[in-house]
Amino acid sequence: MDFKELKHTWEQFGRIDPLWSIVTAPDKIGGKWDTREFFDSGKAQIQSLMEDVQSLDTPIRFGTCLDFGCGVGRLTQGLCLYFAQCSGVDVSPSMIKLANKYNRYPDTCWYYVNEKPDLSLFADNSFDFVYSILVLQHMRPDYSKAYIREFLRVVKPGGMIVFQIPSETITNEANSNYRNDLPETGLRAAVSIEEKFDRISPGEEKALLLKIKNESDVIWPAESLPNGTSHVRVGNHWLAPSGEVVINDDGRVRLPKDIAPQEACHVRLKVRGPAKPGNYLLEIDLVQEGNTWFKDKGSQTVTTQVQNRNKHILQPVQRMLKTINQKKVPHYPVMEMYCVTKDDIVALVEANKGAVLDIRKDSNCGDNWLSFTYFVTKTE
């Protein structure tokens, strides 16, 4: 899509489902992101970024920072904890409007709408640090390359740029070469339901308190790791009384942090009652996304009998009236994906007064893309 279409697409996302369009968790589509959880995830991501940057043993200045493709400011707010001044820029006015609404640091953090395929609203050598993740991949290579040139223009000499972009697609046959699955010995869990849960209504959503213990010999990652190891989540299935699977995937919830062997944690998993009334078994399990459910590798799950009943005879009528009164389900635009090869990125950086400090493979784009995070400095 051209730049005009790109702006329109992200303005639509900003109006329809802004938080999900930034972090596309399957269970958060339709405005289901909790705002606090959303911004806390940004803080955690920036903390991890700072650890990565400091591991380079390269001096970093914590003066001015630019968050490119900031959306509603999820990462910008996290960057404010480290930098004296932060600027966020995005093509979507509706995203920037929300970013200003959620801005907790108005004296040191500013947001800008940028409607050009460049960063001409910023002067040369304006920033000590430039960051962009899950942004460049959604625009044509001629635009993403132009913005990378602009990163090198607006960053100060000796400053740092960190950006992510996929290099190529991966065929299904080659996926295993780029993904680190947990060993089978790492797929062992003890799960317990910590409160009474035996009734639900069709379509009703309830949060269930669970205790999860790592009975394996490896650490479970709460978020995907740069080496390609995918994160672990807690989820549920709905089974018939006979044990036959009725709904394989229902709820999902992230771990509060990385869980070490023999360590336990509590999570609240939201489950939704099946559409058809009846008696069911609710089964709780863990999953390494992109790899396997723990049960399929021999881990024990926990099940509980649940009656799925209408609360009263008027409920179907109420649901019908609610559906009639609800707004039409919005049509989500398409998130296009593009690649720029690693060799092209390195050549581009070096041709624009930059030097590559490090390149790290990441799992930001899932199993079908080979993605890298680039750590770059400006030499002059």
**pLDDT at 75 (0 to 100):** 98
Statement to judge: residues 166 and 188 lie in one domain: no
Statement to judge: residues 270 and 222 lie in one domain: yes
Three-state secondary structure call for residue 135? coil
* Assigned domain for 331 exists: no
Q: Is the dihedral of CA 345, 92, 333, 364 positive or negative?
A: positive
Beta bridge partners of 128: none
User: Which residue is it, tokens 């596309």?
Assistant: 24
Q: How many Cα neighbours within 13 Å face the side chain of 150? A: 21
Domain CATH number, residue 238: 2.60.40.10
Q: How many Cα neighbours within 13 Å face the side chain of 256? A: 11
Three-state secondary structure call for residue 95? helix
Statement to judge: residues 368 and 295 lie in one domain: no
| End-to-end Cα, the chain, rounded Å | 34
* Assigned domain for 318 exists: no
- 318 in Cβ contact with 145 (< 8 Å): no
**pLDDT at 334 (0 to 100):** 74
DSSP summary character for residue 91: S
Statement to judge: residues 73 and 119 lie in one domain: yes
Q: 288: burial class by Cβ within 10 Å (0-12, 13-18, 19+)?
A: buried
**Region of 69 on the Ramachandran plot (φ > 0 left; ψ -120 to 50 alpha; else beta):** left
pLDDT per position as a tens digit, 271-290:
999 888 999 999 999 999 87
**pLDDT at 314 (0 to 100):** 44
What are the DSSP calls for 41-54, one per residue?
A: HHHHHHHHHHHHHH
List Cα–Cα distances, 369 to 20, 21, 179, 288, 379, in angstroms. 20, 19, 11, 18, 31
**pLDDT at 228 (0 to 100):** 64
Q: Which of 255, 276, 311 is the last residue of a domain?
A: 311
* Assigned domain for 254 exists: yes
* Assigned domain for 17 exists: yes
pLDDT of the chain, 380 residues: tens digit per residue: 789 989 999 999 999 999 999 998 878 888 899 999 999 999 999 999 999 999 998 999 999 999 999 999 999 999 999 999 999 999 999 999 999 999 999 999 999 999 999 999 999 999 999 999 999 999 999 999 999 999 999 999 999 999 999 998 765 444 444 456 889 999 999 999 998 899 999 888 898 999 999 999 999 988 877 666 778 999 999 999 999 998 888 888 988 888 999 999 999 999 999 888 999 999 999 999 878 899 999 999 999 999 988 765 445 555 555 554 444 446 677 788 899 999 999 999 999 999 999 999 998 887 778 899 999 999 98
* Assigned domain for 324 exists: no
Q: How many Cα neighbours within 13 Å face the side chain of 159? A: 24
- Spacing of C-alpha 108 from chain mean position: 26
d(CA 255, CA 268): 10
How many domains does one find in the chain? 2
Q: Which domain holds residue 11?
A: 3-170+336-378
Three-state secondary structure call for residue 211? strand
- 170 in Cβ contact with 178 (< 8 Å): yes
Domain CATH number, residue 42: 3.40.50.150
Statement to judge: residues 289 and 192 lie in one domain: yes
User: Which residue is it, tokens 């369009």?
Assistant: 21
224: its two tokens = 């995907």
Residue 340 CB partners (closer than 8 Å, separation 6+) = 136, 141, 144, 145, 165, 166, 167
Statement to judge: residues 119 and 23 lie in one domain: yes
d(CA 220, CA 171): 27
Beta bridge partners of 302: 284
Q: Contacts from 272-276 at CB under 8 Å and sequence distance 24+?
A: 272/203, 272/204, 272/205, 273/200, 273/201, 273/202, 273/203, 273/204, 273/205, 273/206, 273/308, 274/202, 274/238, 274/246, 274/247, 274/308, 275/202, 275/203, 276/202, 276/308
